[in-house]
């Protein structure tokens, strides 16, 4: 019953995103309107896919580091993406895809670095090392970014930061296609890891004794969740709180089994981000807020509420 409700909310939210907008498009003209087909629809679909990716990635990472307060961007990915974006703009890299590609490469670079740190000294992706490594790599990338910004002459660097705060203004069918082609593999890997992740919640040793190949599991989950997040950043900048809050809400409603958590987190993340994007472009019309700010404003009170419940129980 709850699933039906979730699906219904998803449909309603998507419909709202397509119906609302700055341009007045009468209902009967919608089918043929380029505004709907080239702007609103790809934007809504992309926001849904990115929100879903972030939600699923959040579930995976929280299970991996066994910390329900983990967010996909804790592992240094946002710092890496920011560095990539700034490099693309400061050195004026050519091509319309320079910015997203550079951000993706930066995020993946950060992921690889944290991964390497997590394996040092036979640590085998110890959650504490992953978290600390993520903070360190993020800070390192941030320092290089600041250095480039202070030395470079491009005045458009301010705009690089605006992009980084997250937004779907660049949404197009091409970016949707990229997500649709790219996301299924990491999503499938995470879905297959659902049962072993239930076991991992007991601890690494108990999980092994219940049949989970913990070493392989951690590596696969880390890579899949990071790649999903890197793709999300590449097409939409850094959008925080979705990956943190959505897993919690889903756990509250549907319990902690990952077989249900992954699909519901995907839908809930999609709903949240589409709603946030719709708010971002209607609340201060004609201006637009960066989506990352809307999710933070929505997410912080929700997070505080969850924190209270969690510490009480």
Residues in CB range of 235: below 8 A, 6 or more apart? 46, 50, 100, 170, 171, 175, 178, 179
Position among 5, 213, 283, 307 found at the interface with another protein (CB under 8 A)? 213
Are 52 and 266 in contact by the 8 Å Cβ rule? The answer is yes
Largest pairwise CA distance in the chain: 65
Shortest CB 1 distance to another protein, Å = 19
Count of residues in contact with another protein, rule CB under 8 A: 55
Segment contacting another protein by CB under 8 A, of 107-115, 124-132, 181-189, 191-199 = 191-199
Does 290 bind another protein (CB under 8 A)? Our answer is yes
Does 153 bind another protein (CB under 8 A)? Our answer is yes
Position among 93, 195, 223, 298 found at the interface with another protein (CB under 8 A)? 195
DSSP H stretches of helix in the chain:
2-19, 34, 41-64, 77-90, 98-119, 127-151, 157-164, 173-182, 184-192, 194-200, 204-209, 214-236, 242-254, 258-282, 291-312
Does 210 bind another protein (CB under 8 A)? Our answer is yes
Are 247 and 59 in contact by the 8 Å Cβ rule? The answer is yes
- Name the DSSP letter for residue 227: H
Residues 72-111 that bind another protein (CB under 8 A): 95-96, 99
Position among 3, 11, 29, 38 found at the interface with another protein (CB under 8 A)? 38
R_g of the chain, CA atoms, integer Å: 19
Residues 13-32 that bind another protein (CB under 8 A): 21-24
Q: Please report, as ranges, the residues that interact with another protein according to CB under 8 A.
A: 21-24, 34-35, 38-40, 42, 66, 68, 95-96, 99, 153, 156, 159, 162-163, 167, 169-173, 192, 195-196, 198-199, 201-203, 205-206, 208-214, 251, 255-257, 281, 285-290, 313
């Amino acid at each position: 019953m709850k699933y039906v409700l979730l699906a219904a909310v998803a449909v309603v939210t998507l419909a709202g995103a397509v119906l609302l907008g700055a341009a007045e498009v009468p209902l009967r003209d919608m089918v043929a309107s380029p505004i709907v087909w080239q702007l609103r629809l790809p934007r809504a679909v992309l926001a849904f896919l990115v929100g879903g990716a972030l939600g699923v990635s959040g579930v995976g990472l929280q299970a991996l580091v066994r910390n329900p307060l983990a967010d996909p961007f804790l592992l240094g990915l946002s710092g890496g993406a920011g560095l990539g974006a700034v490099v693309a703009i400061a050195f004026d890299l050519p091509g319309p895809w320079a910015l997203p590609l550079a951000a993706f490469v930066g995020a993946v670079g950060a992921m690889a670095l944290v991964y390497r740190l997590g394996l040092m000294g036979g640590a085998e992706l110890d959650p504490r090392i992953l978290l600390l490594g993520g903070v360190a790599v993020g800070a390192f990338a941030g320092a290089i970014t600041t250095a480039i910004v202070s030395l470079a002459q491009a005045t458009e660097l301010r705009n690089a930061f605006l992009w980084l705060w997250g937004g779907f203004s660049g949404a197009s069918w091409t970016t949707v296609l990229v997500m649709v082609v790219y996301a299924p593999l990491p999503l499938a890997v995470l879905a297959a890891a659902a049962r072993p992740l239930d076991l991992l919640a007991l601890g690494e040793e108990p999980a092994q004794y219940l049949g989970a190949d913990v070493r392989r599991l951690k590596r696969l989950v880390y890579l899949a969740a990071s790649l999903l997040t890197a793709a999300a950043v590449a097409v939409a900048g850094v959008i925080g709180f979705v990956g943190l809050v959505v897993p919690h809400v889903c756990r509250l409603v549907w319990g902690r089994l990952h077989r249900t958590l992954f699909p519901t987190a995907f839908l809930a993340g999609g709903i949240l981000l589409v709603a946030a994007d719709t708010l971002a472009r209607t609340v201060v019309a004609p201006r637009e807020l960066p989506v990352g700010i809307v999710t933070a404003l929505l997410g912080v009170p929700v997070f505080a509420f969850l924190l209270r419940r969690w510490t009480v129980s």
